[in-house]
Amino acid sequence: MPSIRKLFRHQFLLGLFTISVFALQPSLGWAQSYPNKPVRMIVPFPAGGATDLFARVLSQKLGEKLGNSVVVENRPGAGGTIGSDVVAKATADGYTLLLATSSTHSIGPSLNPRMPYDAVRDFTPVVHVGNAPSIMLVPNSSPATSVQSWIEHAKKNPGKLNYASSGNGTIVHLTAELFKSQAGLFIVHIPYKGTALAIPDLTSGKLDVMFDSLPTGLPHVRDGRLRALGVTTAKRSPLAPDLPAIADILPGFESNTWFGLYGPKGLPADVQLKINAAVNQALADTEIKDKLARLGIEPVGGSSQQFATMATADAAKWKKMIVERKITAE
């Protein structure tokens, strides 16, 4: 017959187990019921831009997959810093998400070390949702008809050719610097306040080259105003299958504007997985693929870890470029 002490000890341990089970139940039940109210998707850029349009395409289908509405909220300012900071400081419950880009999480931190958030420590990566490639554009008067011939032309004329960008520290600027670095070229940077303002000078031949986003640059090629030599993806893009990858000539060359969903740090793993699964399902939808193609965006998807690995590598690549080339946002 067990002693009173052993019986008491058994009841005490049973009580602890019961308390532990009940303590876990709210968390499990909460994850299963998520979301039970609308989810905010913060876009850190103005309405009407590429990130905003992407968010509005994605949010509707994502809401269907999650079983509750996903509301897009624009919080622009400071190159995406303001909206990103809103999410960094939000409650980690899955009801505030950020549609981030390479500008906010890969490039921005190296250009602005005083950002109010840490792009890695203050966020939980959820899923890599898409890539927007760029294309290499030259005027029709250019003697080059391929990436290789343009490189040869530039090497014969060091310091005499130029390239346009949408401003210092932008992805357009950094892509050209990456190209210069890998090809071993000396060409002069001429910054504009947006690529749209540079197009007339590129068309007229005042500029020699520009790496513009595919959806804004390709129409000028189709209209016969400019010539496209290559695409900045690692291999040919299904969005422009006739264009060779620049990486065919410069192995390892790649430059995309990526888009990804983040939550605040401490986002519960089960909620992270649920959102990730819903996004992957949404990106597999034919209607979504068609809409994104019209925006010049390739859907990606994958696991949260794959997204984190990609973002870390991309940030390291651009940090190296920014430091070596002494690039600033000024």
Strands (E), the chain: 39-43, 70-74, 96-101, 123-139, 162-165, 188-191, 209-213, 226-231, 256-264, 298-299
Tokens of 45: 């850029």
pLDDT tens over the chain, length 330 residues = 445 554 445 554 444 444 444 444 444 455 578 999 999 999 999 999 889 999 999 999 999 999 999 999 999 999 899 999 999 999 999 999 999 999 999 999 999 988 999 999 999 999 999 999 999 999 999 999 999 999 999 999 999 999 999 999 999 999 999 999 999 999 999 999 989 999 999 999 999 999 999 988 999 999 999 999 999 999 999 999 999 999 999 999 999 999 999 999 999 999 999 999 999 999 999 999 999 999 999 999 999 999 999 999 999 999 999 999 999 987
Whether the domain at 37-132+256-324 and the domain at 134-248 fall into the same CATH topology? yes
Q: Tell the residue number behind the tokens 């809103």, with chain if given.
A: 86
d(CA 153, CA 208): 11
SS3 label, residue 63 = helix
Spell out the CATH class of 134-248.
alpha beta
CATH class of the domain defined by 37-132+256-324: alpha beta
Each domain of the chain, given as residue ranges in start order, spans: 37-132+256-324, 134-248
Write down the pTM of the prediction.
Answer: 0.86
Q: Tell me the two tokens of residue 310.
A: 């990609």
